[in-house]
Structure 1
Amino acid sequence: MKFNKKGIILALTIFILLVGVVGCSSKTVSETDKNIIKIGTSGGYHPYTFKNDKGELDGFEIDVWNEIGSRIGYEVEYVTSEFSGLFGMIDIKKIDTIANQITITEQRKEKYIFPTPYVYSGAQLIVQKGNEDVKSLEDLKGKKVGVSLGSNYEQIIKEFDINNEIEVVTYEDFLGSLQDVALGRIDAVLNDKLAAMTNVQKSGLDIQLGGEPISKIENAFPFVNNEQNKELVEKVSKAVEDMRNDGTLEKISKKWFEIDITKE
């Protein structure tokens, strides 16, 4: 069978077009058009973020971000890591933000941008049951206090303890710090008020709150401060405000805490 030059060119052109069509048709709309946001979380900070009895990631933070993702049209992917490594993961773009009760601080605002706060709480001391001697930062002088490594609670202690009179013990695992204070290995833990209240009630450990909250805190999701993230932060802010106004945030809060932690 003989083919002239024009016939060969035509056949090759048709072949190339067919390959292109087949190649394009193998990609679905969801694969090409979906938006994905990666959320970093420790998965070890009950009841905010933890693994449930089924081994699934669960908690207040997870419920909040599942709802935000739905409202802004993003598929949410969770990436778990030790808390102390989460900010590093943002910086190298392995994750987009952190859902782990991140407090807004002046130091963090120099590097990150935050949408509107979604939680209002306080920094709270937790002590061994029966300990009435530790109720303030002043009471920690000459004692050991546990904090989450890299947390704003560690920074609170350092800013107060200008004469290095307090021994700070850092933990990757919040429950580990509570177990140590219950056993008397350390004198107190400084952490989130709501997490403290929940674990006093439900952990079964011999612990109690130590005095009133040390300070008020506002929590939000940090994003690297760049032009690309500014539009996304605006979307997240609107979603959070809408969730607050229509009662969704309150509903999620009361599911985990029996009180509303999402309003000032």
Structure 2
Amino acid sequence: MFNKRKLVLITSMIMATALVFVGCGSKNNEINQKSNEVKETKSIRIGTSGGYFPFTFVENDVLQGFEIDVWNEIGERLDYDVEFVTSKFSGLFGMLDTDRIDSISNQIAITEERKEKYIFTTPYVYDGAQLVVKTGNDSIKSLEDLKGKKVGVSLGSNYEQIIREFDVNNEIEIITYDGGAMEQEVALGRIDAFLMDKLSSVELIKKTGLDLQLAGDPVAFNENAFPFVKNEKNEELIEKINTTIEEMRADGTLSEISEKWLEMDITKK
């Protein structure tokens, strides 16, 4: 009788011990799973010039602007860590091509040439290409008026492309700038005009107080979006970003960011 009781007691102890180990194993699995989830933190690298007020600029050593707010909101909604990488505009597409960044946020216009190489998100800004001249210069109103003149454009921008495609007979002296300075050159009368987006032009004139004015109506209209290298992974990511952009448009967040920086809504057609 004693032996039977002893056997039952030993068997119970063995089963209890086994349950403890099973329990520990489950907890270890949960810990490992959580550890793996931490390791899989999502991040995205966004290239920007940091020199295109009010869209992306540095003030008091802080990168800020319309583009920065838009991406911070996208990152928060998608649970992505957004890493901003600043570089001169002319180097951003090279960084994109060599996988040093995942996309560019710098008022990038969708063009047929770019669509051959990159896939774009849905547009988040609608804007126009605007000529700017020195105050009092009423001789320039259109691209046609640029013949025989010196015109500044940002190197590698769609604005450079607009001028070059128009100037088939090389009648315009096109001067490229890798960064700022072309607005000062126009204000000082060293070049005749520059071409950039209308909204930035208005804000630039307002902020700097330079002797500049808009010249005529926009010469072209742009739809701006975020470019990605063409691959299957990015196609899936863009679907998520597009959904988020449309949600931000529908709930008014895009409009709020636009009003904050531009005092107008540039996010709708």
**Band of TM-score, shorter chain:** 0.7 to 0.9
In the alignment, which residue of structure 1 is the partner of 2:225?
220
Q: Secondary structure at the match of 1:239?
A: helix
Q: Secondary structure at the match of 2:206?
A: helix
Q: Please, which of 168, 172, 197 is the counterpart of residue 166 of structure 1?
A: 172
Q: How many residues align?
A: 239
Residue correspondence of structure 1 range 91-170 to structure 2 within 5 A? 91-170=97-176
> What is the deviation of 1:28?
5.7
Alignment partner of 1:232 is 2:247: no
Q: Partner letter of residue 138 of structure 1?
A: E
> What is the deviation of 1:33?
2.0
Which protein shows a greater Rg?
Answer: 2
Moved over 4 A (4+): 27-31
- Alignment check: 8 A CA contact 1:41 1:99 kept: yes
Q: Secondary structure at the match of 1:127?
A: strand
Distance 2:80 2:257 in 1: 20
Alignment partner of 1:70 is 2:73: no
- Alignment check: 8 A CA contact 1:200 1:209 kept: no
Q: Partner letter of residue 57 of structure 2?
A: F
In the alignment, which residue of structure 2 is the partner of 1:194?
199
Q: CA, structure 1 residues 183+29, in 2 after alignment: closer, same or farther (shift >3 Å)?
A: farther
In the alignment, which residue of structure 2 is the partner of 1:33?
40
Distance 1:173 1:150 in 2: 11
Alignment partner of 1:43 is 2:53: no
Distance 2:208 2:246 in 1: 32
Distance 1:133 1:255 in 2: 34
Residue correspondence of structure 1 range 225-264 to structure 2 within 5 A? 225-264=230-269
Q: Normalized against structure 2, the TM-score is what?
A: 0.86
> What is the deviation of 1:144?
0.5
Q: Normalized against structure 1, the TM-score is what?
A: 0.88
Query: CA-to-partner distance for each residue in 1:141-176, whole Å, 9 max, x for gaps?
Result: 0000000000000000011001000001101113x1
Where do 5+ consecutive residues of structure 2 fail to align?
A: 1-27
User: CA RMSD, aligned part only?
Assistant: 1.5
In the alignment, which residue of structure 2 is the partner of 1:15?
none
Q: Partner letter of residue 102 of structure 1?
A: I
Counting aligned pairs with the same residue, the percent is 63
Distance 1:30 1:45 in 2: 37
Where do 5+ consecutive residues of structure 1 fail to align?
A: 1-20
Distance 1:30 1:86 in 2: 32
Distance 1:65 1:185 in 2: 37
> What is the deviation of 1:138?
0.5
